[in-house]
Structure 1
Amino acid sequence: MNPQAKLISTMSLLLGTTITISSNHWAMAWTGLEINTLAILPLISKPHHPRAIEATTKYFLTQAAASTLLLFSSTTNALFTGQWDITQLTHPISCLLLTTAISIKLGLVPFHFWFPEVLQGSSLTTGLLLATVMKFPPITLILLTSPSLNHTLLFIMAISSAALGGWMGLNQTQIRKVLAFSSISHLGWMTIIIIYNPKLTLITFYLYCLMTAAIFLTLKTTKILKLSSMMTAWTKIPSLSATLMLALLSLAGLPPLTGFLPKWLIIQELTKQEMTSAATIIALLSLLGLFFYLRLAYCATITLPPNSSNYMKQWQTNKPVNTLTTTLIALTITLLPLSPMTYTIP
């Protein structure tokens, strides 16, 4: 890809995200989302492969439909109430349309079908952007409008996302699809608590981005795309493969790793809100995700294929590990022990 075109796409991505998260008017928020969508399209189609072109087309059509719904929602609200302010969404039809639009943009169940396919057709760097940066503007909008959204619909989609994200990830052999369904499952955790504690949703999203970035950068360094290729990853950079197992277990939410913190706080908050049944259901559904994370960790560090002496030559790697990757992995593993154990949700 032309360096100038890559720079323009990256800067437009940052600009669109900044416009959306800092706007107070629906027109500006919509403009930022459109800039974001148009900026990421060249990055998805960069590999010049039929699968990449297919992923670009799917992403464009899905995001265009979601943006149209969002614009229609805000226009309907302005027509009936005269308000263009993001926090003043009060009309019932507008609230329902906005809930649907943001769910499509995030990839919540039942609007999740596009996300695994788009992630599979993208490179690992673009996949990281799709799984983290591109979800920040919709998460911001859902935080600002959380009191107005359809609570019943959000709750159903949250439980469905946690269930389907774990269930569909069980039989995947492509790492990017596994991470896509992992993202859908984590979105279920964020959505179920947003009505009661929006700040906790933001904390969960930040920690999810941290853990996902660590795993994507590790996969990029070791050039792992399939489950079968994880078995020989230890021969390239043994230390990084060992920490990859801990990063995967952190994303699964096992204590005492960082990923346990958001799940612990969400279950605690749901219990405080007297939603013990919901807390129990979503905790049990997380076991589905735990299974395929354990399978990935098992393949990465414990399973060894029939090997020869040729594998041993790869121990002397000439490729240094990026400082950013090691920093993110360290935070992914150690952030929970470093966090204050007396943390209370305000």
Structure 2
Amino acid sequence: MYPSLNSNKMFFYFILFLSTLISISSNSWLGCWVGLEINLLSFIPLISNTNNMMSSEASLKYFLTQSIASINFLFFILLKLMWMKNFMLNNSISILINSSLLMKMGSTPFHFWFPNIIEGLSWFNSFILMSWQKIAPMILLSYYFYSKFIIIIIIMNSIIGAIGGLNQSSLRKIMAFSSINNLSWMLASLLISENLWIFYFMMYSFLIMILCLLFNSMNLFYINQLFFFNMNYGIKFLFLINFLSLGGLPPFLGFYSKWIIINFLIFNNFPMVCFFLIMMSLIILFFYIRIIYSSFLFNNLNLKWISIKLKNKQLFFYTLSSLISIFGIIFSTFFFM
């Protein structure tokens, strides 16, 4: 008997998990590159779907961009080994190695592929692309970190992630540009320490997991779908809490992680980075509030044949996660006492 599709998917998810561990635990650059290649080849079968043209197009675009980034990464590593004694070329090669890793995680100015690919993915695969697929390039970037170049990338990520999501009607593209903006916070945390990055990444992954599960449960992909669904106020309240928490508005859990990064950046003399991160977070909050506004107030079309039914266990999980988010200020109070 042939294995079922679910068992095949579980196998590829296991290889995806294993390849990230290979990359971050390898003691040579060649081993890191092999782990990134295994990660690429295991993620493509998960996102490709012969019955969906958008998924097939997304898998092809993902393969091409990641292959280019992997070739550049290997080539620049070989250049580094060849010109190791030439100190004049060290900074240039460091920028090139960092650029190839930034391209793999969808950072600006190499973000051109990221929103287009997410548009063709399911919500679960979008969550993996926005969270798990950033782990290996981020940790490899911390091994070979050129801070002056990364500060410029942080500012560019915050600006592009905020402005790019303003005119979007697709929820997946909004989440993609939000991920680009949050990538600037992750890179800023890498300026301080890896432990701070792990803390922020866990908080961010938790928040987008809840939102992706909500969108997947209600089969939402565009803002205008919020006008037609008969959502009760409990689900709308979940939207309100989780979006404001992801935007970093106090007193929610997302504010706690961003507040810690702001404090460390100020203590380490990065005031301009803090300024751009805070200002662009206000723009991010603007298009989050636009989604909340649409779900709360634009309820003129009540189509009775379109309704949302969530199971009690799902609604309990979402409510519990939202309550964790809304009581996040308690943790921050204990931290700064």
Q: Distance in 1 between matches of 2:105 and 2:165?
A: 18
- 1:242-257 equivalence runs, <5 A: 242-257=237-252
2:160 maps to 1:164: yes
What is the Cα-based RMSD across aligned positions, in Å?
2.4
Structure 2 Cα separation of the partners of residues 238 and 302 of structure 1: 11
Provide closer, same or farther for how the CA distance between residues 234 and 208 of structure 1 changes in structure 2, counting only shifts above 3 A: farther
Contact 1:166 1:181 in 2 (8 A): yes
Match of 2:334, SS state, is coil
Pair 1:267-2:245 in alignment: no
Shift of 1:340: 5.4
Q: Which runs of 5 or more residues in structure 2 are unaligned? A: none
Aligned equivalents of 1:330, 1:210: Cα separation in 2: 13
1:47 Cα deviation (Å)?
6.2
Q: Name 2:170's counterpart in structure 1.
A: 174
Q: For residues 222-301 of structure 1, what are the structure 2 equivalents within 5 Å?
A: 222-235=218-231, 238-301=233-296
Q: Secondary structure at the residue paired with 1:111? A: coil
Distance 2:64 2:156 in 1: 24
- Give the aligned partner of residue 97 of structure 1: 96
Q: What's 2:141 paired with?
A: 142
Instruction: Quote how far apart the aligned CAs of 1:262 are.
Output: 2.2
Percent identical pairs in the alignment equals 29
CA distance, structure 2, for counterparts of residue 232 and residue 242 of structure 1: 17
Shift of 1:343: 4.7
Which segment is superposed worse, 167-176 or 277-286? 277-286
Equivalent residues of 1:234, 1:241 under 8 A apart: no
Q: Which moved more, 1:318-327 or 1:182-191?
A: 318-327
Aligned match for 2:217, one of 218, 221, 225: 221
The AA in structure 2 aligned to 1:120 is E
What amino acid is the match of 1:271? I
Return the match for 1:186 from 152, 177, 182.
182
1:52, 1:122 within 8 Å by CA — same for their partners in 2? Answer: yes
User: What CA distance in whole angstroms lies between the structure 1 residues aligned with 2:50 and 2:240?
Assistant: 29
| Structure 2 CA distance for aligned equivalents of residues 34 and 261 of structure 1 | 35
Q: Show CA shifts across 1:215-245 (max 9, x none).
A: 001111111111011234453x652332122
CA distance in 2 between partners of 1:234 and 1:95 (Å) = 53
CA distance in 1, matches of 2:160, 2:33: 29
Q: Is the 8 A contact 2:158 2:276 kept in 1?
A: no
In structure 2, the residue matched to 1:37 is 40
Amino acid at match of 1:259: G
Q: Which ranges in structure 1 are unaligned for 5 or more consecutive residues?
A: 83-89
Higher alpha-carbon deviation: 299-308 or 216-225? 299-308
CA distance change for structure 1 residues 268 and 98 in 2, over 3 Å: closer, same or farther? same
Matches of 1:329 and 1:241 in 2, distance apart? 12
Q: What does residue 124 of structure 1 align with?
A: 123
Q: In the aligned structure 1, how far is the partner of 2:229 from the partner of 2:50?
A: 23
Cα distance in 1 between the residues matched to 2:196 and 2:292: 28
Structure 1 residues 336, 65: closer, same or farther in 2, change over 3 A? farther
Q: Number of residues paired by the alignment?
A: 330
TM (normalized to structure 1)? 0.87
TM-score norm. by structure 2 comes to 0.90
Amino acid at match of 2:328: L
SS in 2 for 1:341: helix
